[in-house]
Amino acid sequence: MMKRIGFIGLGIMGKPMCRNLLKAGFDLTVFSRSRGNVDPIVAAGAKAAGSPKEVALLSEMVITMVPDSPEVRAVALGPDGVIEGVHPGLILADMSSIAPLASREIAAKLAEKGVRMMDAPVSGGEPKAVDGTLSVMVGADVQDFEACLPVLKAMAATVTHVGPVGAGNTAKLANQIMVAGHIAAMSEALVLAAKAGVDPEAVFKAVRGGLAGSAVLEAKAPMVLDGNFNPGFRIRLHAKDLKNVLETSRELNASLPLTAQLMEVMQALLAKGEGDADHGALIRYWEELAGVEARRRKG
């Protein structure tokens, strides 16, 4: 079984994922552009590397968890990138959320040097990253998937093989469509309740056990009711994912009118400086239109 794991990208998701790898007993080497992100993970037992190349040289499997396609290209294929630290048996698992086409292109470049790649984006946000209960959707060769499964399970409750490279990010884009739609529907419903003078918390409690109940509702309604919009998962990152959704849909000639409309809602909030708020703050769009706030009643 693989023991030497590299991890590149120590943001909101990367740090807790690394902690869970350390708890599972893996020998971990990490790299991040910010030394402030590296130091706590080194203190927890990891080794620090000076570049993605060095991470690759010291690892059997390298995990990347960075914002978008350009960053994955840079750490995988750029100067001092993973591709410059190749050695027999190396596997790159990109757990970022990027465009499926970009995953396939990066995998093809790595394959020229004998490096296998999988795309393995996650769902669940920071709370599930901390708990080690993420959902991972993997695009990979079946043998590579099975070889990396114990590593992925150290960070996740469910790990699902969905097809070849690129399929993981296709599944993640589908996930992000549904999450955005759930948050939007919840927002409209709670704003309607508040506008009608009905306690939105009571409405949440009334519907949560029925068909309208969902993991999204359970995660986001309490935050909204408390006015807590600390990320979590930032609006600007969800907008990035919907950008990849819409670009992919155009490549495939698939019409996604609801997703396009939700992207415009996110663009309006980005223009108002809300990009670093949790995506539950989408409700602010509907609250402003209605002139109410859907908050927990005091007293």
Q: What is the mean pLDDT of residues 175-186?
A: 98
pLDDT band at 125 (very low <50, low <70, confident <90, very high): confident
SS3 of residue 293 by DSSP? coil
Q: So what's the pLDDT on residue 105? A: 97
Q: Write down the H helix ranges in the chain.
A: 14-23, 35-43, 52-57, 69-77, 100-111, 125-131, 142-153, 167-195, 200-207, 215-226, 235-252, 257-271, 283-290
pLDDT digits (tens, 9 = 90+) for 73-88: 999 999 999 999 999 9
| Fold classified for 4-164 | Rossmann fold (3.40.50)
Q: Are 7 and 42 in contact (CB under 8 A)?
A: no
Among the listed ranges 79-83, 124-128, 252-256, 267-271, which one has the minimum average pLDDT value?
Answer: 124-128
Longest CA–CA span in the chain (Å) reads 65
Percent of the chain residues topping a pLDDT of 70: 100
Retrieve residue 204's tokens: 């949440």
DSSP at 203: H
pLDDT digits (tens, 9 = 90+) for 51-73: 999 999 999 999 999 999 999 99
Q: So what's the pLDDT on residue 35? A: 86
Q: Are 109 and 80 in contact (CB under 8 A)?
A: no
Q: What is the mean pLDDT of residues 8-34?
A: 96
Euclidean distance between CA atoms 285 and 62, whole angstroms: 40
Distance of CA 30 to the CA centre of its chain: 19
Q: Catalytic annotation on 243?
A: no
Annotated catalytic residue within 53, 172, 220, 240: 172
Phi first, then psi, for residue 48 (nearest 5°) are -95, 140
| Fold classified for 170-290 | N-(1-d-carboxylethyl)-l-norvaline Dehydrogenase; domain 2 (1.10.1040)
Angle (CA) 163 8 160, round 5°: 25
Among the listed ranges 23-27, 57-61, 123-127, 150-154, which one has the minimum average pLDDT value?
Answer: 123-127
Q: What is each CA distance from 49 to 25, 35, 53, 77, 213, in whole angstroms? A: 19, 11, 9, 17, 45
DSSP at 99: -
pLDDT band at 298 (very low <50, low <70, confident <90, very high): confident
Domain ranges of the chain: 4-164, 170-290
Euclidean distance between CA atoms 171 and 117, whole angstroms: 17
For residue 89, say if its preceding peptide bond is cis, omega within 30 degrees of 0: no
pLDDT digits (tens, 9 = 90+) for 215-228: 999 999 999 999 99
Q: So what's the pLDDT on residue 137? A: 98
Q: So what's the pLDDT on residue 299? A: 64
Q: Are 88 and 114 in contact (CB under 8 A)?
A: yes
